[in-house]
Chain A
């Protein structure tokens, strides 16, 4: 029951007036970010991260800063549902599956019901995710205290292999995207020897590419360019939520307990292994459609079809913070940005965090409970307000968003070079998205590049260049084996499919 005691201490840290105010501010900002095209969880947090630099320097300020940023993340998760249901525009990739049944419901005048169902199941998914974090993370962290460089490198390897094995995109496109991230991370001063790498004699490249700039460009500018193709106008259903609708929907929701639980389980699993919220939401929707007795009516406007993806997306989004905190390996791009924030504030994510920064960790975990309650209150009461934001014409909101992105990119290092790079990354993001190159592994690789390389080199130094150190003992060996298995998984599944085809032909 250590976890419960620590959690109570955490509530004591999180429950100050400032922190609660920050929670609400974060959630409201987050919902706005989630609603607006071009701003999402990852780049919203990236843009606002520089604002916390000074905040994090005061005592206890790091906890306040992470509370603000994580609440923006929760808000963005909630916000994605609003645009999907009312406008049929997924504000976030993980809300694509929510449009399948959410938008038909809204068209039939049942928007309030759909939104209430979405928010409530999001809340449920997040709650399950936080409970998992509360009880699992101390265990994982303690286990990981034994880790040396080879173990850490094998965990990184597992993360990246999982991306290749589990993503829907072509494995070699995932590989290119990921390795480009590592290459970008390597630019600049080599952290071990101090040698300059790939700067080609320019001073601007000395510090390398910052992942925050990459995130703002890839996700922000890239997404705006892509949204533009659809034209400049949004048309959407109007929504009112009153207490009656909320209570009626809540009465209906317990019927879908099985769907919710499955969604939460899928979400937690996909969040912890770096699959992320997006595949989790699709998977949960698919499973619900197959197992529900009304499965064939999915897509025409079933509340159950909103419950499934939303629960999973939030469970995944929340539990993605578990590997980030305990191992220093983020499970999603937004978790990667939060990890970057921790590093900038001078905290070292990983198992030692649970020993040395107890207040910070448990304050954050407690704030997850409170932040999601704050989120549910905010979204249920303010939906018309947020929907109104989407009615601001694109020709007004788009330049403002781009200016915000530019300011965000500038404030990372106070250089205008980063603002130029933001536009370059924006074009890359646009091309990559249209050609199905996944962006998440690129961002994760930029964030983890230096750390992965450092652990690799240390491991190699320990073994004098012998790769067998990655199989040296049971622990590191099994992680490495699992990683390699995930890596060749796509090949195996192709092989298996062709064998089955062959068998079917033969029979």
Chain B
């Protein structure tokens, strides 16, 4: 993959550290907020529902601040968190995967899986279409046999399966 050779930094390490510390702080704040709403105090019958998570959230916030400050003080070493070429590769998998899981919600597991595997082989692997078709359909037939028939674990199905009378 020639794209992997693009070594410019898409995101510096510092930015990534700051962003993650900021996000964890926000999550901690949500936890603190919701626990406080539920009651994080001590009642006559013992600790309230929010008692334990309240302190968990508080620790997340404090530790996030420490990490945030640590990242700020780490100086401006411009080491790349991810290079442009790497990011392209990662996104070339992450984007189709996100589309795939959304499709699973609508069409069940089998049809999106066939499309997803075939897409990968055609687009990233540059395989002949018949090879892609063979592998993607074959894998899913295998999964169908293992899960539905052998272990009797039903997987999500959609319109296509009901047309084929498989559910």
Question: Are A416 and B156 in contact, with the CB atoms below 8 A?
Answer: yes
Q: Cβ of B159: which chain A residues have Cβ within 8 Å of it?
A: none
Instruction: Say yes or no for A461: interface residue by CB 8 A criterion.
Output: yes
Chain A contributes a number of interface residues (CB within 8 A of B) equal to 60
Q: Which residue of B lies closest to A405 (CB)?
A: B97
Chain A residues 161 to 216 lying within 8 A of chain B, measured CB to CB, are 170, 172-173, 175-176, 179-180, 182-183, 186, 190, 192-193, 195, 197-198, 200
Q: Which residue of B lies closest to A393 (CB)?
A: B125
Question: Are B70 and A453 in contact, with the CB atoms below 8 A?
Answer: no
Instruction: Say yes or no for A503: interface residue by CB 8 A criterion.
Output: no
Are A403 and B24 CB-contacts (below 8 A) given A51-B151, A224-B93, A229-B82?
A: no
Tell me how far the C-beta of A367 lies from the nearest C-beta in chain B, rounded to whole angstroms: 21
Question: Are B20 and A431 in contact, with the CB atoms below 8 A?
Answer: yes
Interface residue tally on B, bucketed by range: 35 or more
CB-contact partner of B89 in A231, A411, A434, under 8 A: A231
Question: Are B124 and A232 in contact, with the CB atoms below 8 A?
Answer: yes
Q: Which residue of A lies closest to B102 (CB)?
A: A420
Question: Are A195 and B47 in contact, with the CB atoms below 8 A?
Answer: no
Instruction: Say yes or no for B160: interface residue by CB 8 A criterion.
Output: no
Instruction: Say yes or no for B166: interface residue by CB 8 A criterion.
Output: no
- Complex CA gap A431/B21 in Å reads 11
Q: Cβ of B24: which chain A residues have Cβ within 8 Å of it?
A: 176, 180
Instruction: Say yes or no for B4: interface residue by CB 8 A criterion.
Output: yes
Q: Which residue of B lies closest to A436 (CB)?
A: B17
User: Looking at chain A's contact residues, is the secondary structure mostly helix, strand, loop, or mixed?
Assistant: helix
Question: Are A51 and B153 in contact, with the CB atoms below 8 A?
Answer: yes
Question: Are A461 and B46 in contact, with the CB atoms below 8 A?
Answer: yes
Question: Are A411 and B153 in contact, with the CB atoms below 8 A?
Answer: yes
Are A54 and B151 CB-contacts (below 8 A) given A403-B116, A434-B16?
A: yes
User: Looking at chain B's contact residues, is the secondary structure mostly helix, strand, loop, or mixed?
Assistant: helix
Binary contact readout A44-73 vs B (1 if CB under 8 angstroms, 0 otherwise): 000000110110000000000000000000
Question: Are A198 and B34 in contact, with the CB atoms below 8 A?
Answer: yes
Q: Cβ of B143: which chain A residues have Cβ within 8 Å of it?
A: 403, 407
Q: Cβ of A183: which chain B residues have Cβ within 8 Å of it?
A: 27-28, 31, 53, 56-57, 60
Question: Are A399 and B90 in contact, with the CB atoms below 8 A?
Answer: no
Instruction: Say yes or no for B72: interface residue by CB 8 A criterion.
Output: no
Tell me how far the C-beta of A348 lies from the nearest C-beta in chain B, rounded to whole angstroms: 21
Instruction: Say yes or no for B155: interface residue by CB 8 A criterion.
Output: yes
Q: Cβ of B47: which chain A residues have Cβ within 8 Å of it?
A: 457, 460-461, 465
- Complex CA gap A183/B61 in Å reads 12
Binary contact readout B31-56 vs A (1 if CB under 8 angstroms, 0 otherwise): 10011001000100011011111001
Instruction: Say yes or no for B9: interface residue by CB 8 A criterion.
Output: no
Instruction: Say yes or no for A410: interface residue by CB 8 A criterion.
Output: yes
Q: Cβ of A176: which chain B residues have Cβ within 8 Å of it?
A: 21, 24, 60, 63-64, 67
Instruction: Say yes or no for A396: interface residue by CB 8 A criterion.
Output: yes
The interface stretch among A281-289, A294-302, A422-430, A492-500 is A422-430
9 of the cross-chain contacts (CB-CB < 8 Å) are A183-B53, A186-B52, A190-B49, A407-B147, A410-B109, A411-B153, A432-B20, A461-B46, A465-B47
* 15 extra A-B contacts, CB within 8 A, seeds A198-B30, A432-B20, A434-B16: A172-B70, A179-B56, A180-B27, A182-B56, A183-B28, A190-B49, A229-B86, A229-B89, A229-B90, A396-B135, A411-B155, A420-B101, A435-B17, A457-B46, A460-B46
